């Protein structure tokens, strides 16, 4: 069985790399309407083909909503979720070309969202919701850069190309090793850091048990600890898909950490702040479940 899995990965990764290159070379030149239609088609196909992702998505929907939603409603949510994720991935390529024209045209920034790009230190928290990648891309156009840690893909070649692509659109990606010192120093210099905080983080990586969507999940308390130690406010930002392949970026009211005191229990304060963050994310997901990435093992 182990040899079979190794063989499967060996033959799959060249296909993944070829697919990535195909989208990178073609997607930026497609009309916006075609990109949106492609995402919808991929979402429908994902529901028709039995897969591990479809199974995980339906299990997560059952876990969160139980009998409060019908099977048909859950399937519709998951189909839209797949389409949203497909459009997010296609948009990584589509917005890299003529970003200075496309981003202002297709992304709306209400006045309250401008807090994300003020010339002040900030801890930005988002989730795998809507198009989380676009916030970093849009920040570059506002001459405001966020430092973030990107999860490493198993396909190293695709991981390297994707990281280079993100850097081209103005994002700053750093490796996980040694990241804590870099992020704290960046905040103290008045910079901004960003985290996607709706995914499992093991205890060996600093994860702590938190209530998320009514279930216990282990998540990183690092963003809250950074904010507390540096006295930096926390902003939750999301990009909500709109008709016509557009997005609306919104930000929630800031979460202000208490003044830092080395005599206080930093771990407990970070846990309380982290729970507050997860409560906000949970509420947002319940309001717009069709835009969240359900096909991921958030609970383990």
DSSP class of residue 243 equals G
Phi-psi region of 170 (alpha: psi -120 to 50; beta: other; left: phi over 0): left
Domain spans in the chain, listed from the N-terminal domain onward: 2-291
For residues 97 and 3, what is the distance between their CA atoms, to the nearest angstrom? 41
Beta strands in 96-181 (DSSP E): 107-108, 122-126, 146-149, 172-174
Per-residue pLDDT in tens (0 to 9) along the chain, 300 residues: 444 344 345 556 776 777 777 778 888 999 999 999 999 999 999 999 889 999 999 999 999 999 999 999 999 999 999 999 999 989 988 988 888 899 889 988 888 777 888 888 899 999 999 998 888 777 777 767 788 776 666 667 666 766 666 666 666 777 766 677 888 888 888 888 889 999 898 888 889 999 999 999 999 999 999 999 999 999 999 999 999 999 999 889 999 999 998 888 889 999 999 999 999 999 999 999 999 999 999 988
For residues 228 and 90, what is the distance between their CA atoms, to the nearest angstrom? 36
Considering only CA atoms, which of 144, 29, 134 is closest in space to residue 92? Answer: 134
Establish how many alpha carbons lie within 13 A of residue 156's alpha carbon, considering only the half-sphere containing its beta carbon: 1
Beta strand 207-212 with 215-220 is antiparallel
């Amino acid at each position: 069985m182990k040899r079979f899995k190794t063989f499967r990965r060996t033959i799959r990764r060249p296909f993944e790399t070829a697919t990535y290159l195909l989208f990178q070379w073609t997607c930026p030149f497609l009309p916006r309407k075609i990109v949106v239609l492609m995402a919808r088609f991929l979402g429908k196909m994902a529901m028709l083909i039995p897969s591990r992702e479809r199974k995980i998505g339906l299990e997560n929907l059952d876990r969160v909503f139980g009998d409060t939603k019908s099977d048909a409603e859950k399937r519709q949510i998951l189909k839209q979720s797949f389409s949203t994720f497909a459009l997010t991935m296609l948009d990584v390529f589509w917005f890299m070309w003529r970003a200075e024209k496309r981003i202002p045209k297709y992304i709306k920034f209400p006045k309250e969202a401008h807090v994300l790009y003020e010339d002040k230190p900030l801890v930005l928290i988002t989730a795998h919701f809507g198009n989380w990648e676009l916030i970093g891309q849009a920040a570059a156009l506002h001459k405001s850069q966020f430092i973030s840690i990107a999860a490493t893909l198993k396909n190293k070649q695709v991981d390297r190309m994707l990281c280079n692509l993100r850097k081209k659109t103005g994002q700053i990606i750093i490796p996980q090793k040694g990241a804590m010192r870099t992020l704290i120093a960046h905040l103290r210099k008045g910079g901004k850091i960003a985290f996607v905080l709706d995914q499992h983080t093991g205890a060996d990586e600093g994860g702590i048990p938190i209530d998320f969507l009514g279930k216990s999940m282990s998540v990183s308390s690092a963003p809250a600890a950074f904010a507390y130690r540096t006295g930096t406010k926390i902003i939750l930002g999301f990009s909500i898909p709109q008709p016509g392949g557009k997005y609306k970026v919104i930000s929630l009211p800031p979460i202000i950490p208490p003044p830092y005191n080395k005599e206080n229990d930093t771990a407990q304060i970070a846990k309380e702040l982290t729970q507050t963050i997860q409560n906000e994310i949970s509420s947002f997901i319940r309001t717009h479940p069709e835009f969240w990435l359900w096909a991921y093992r958030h609970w383990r």
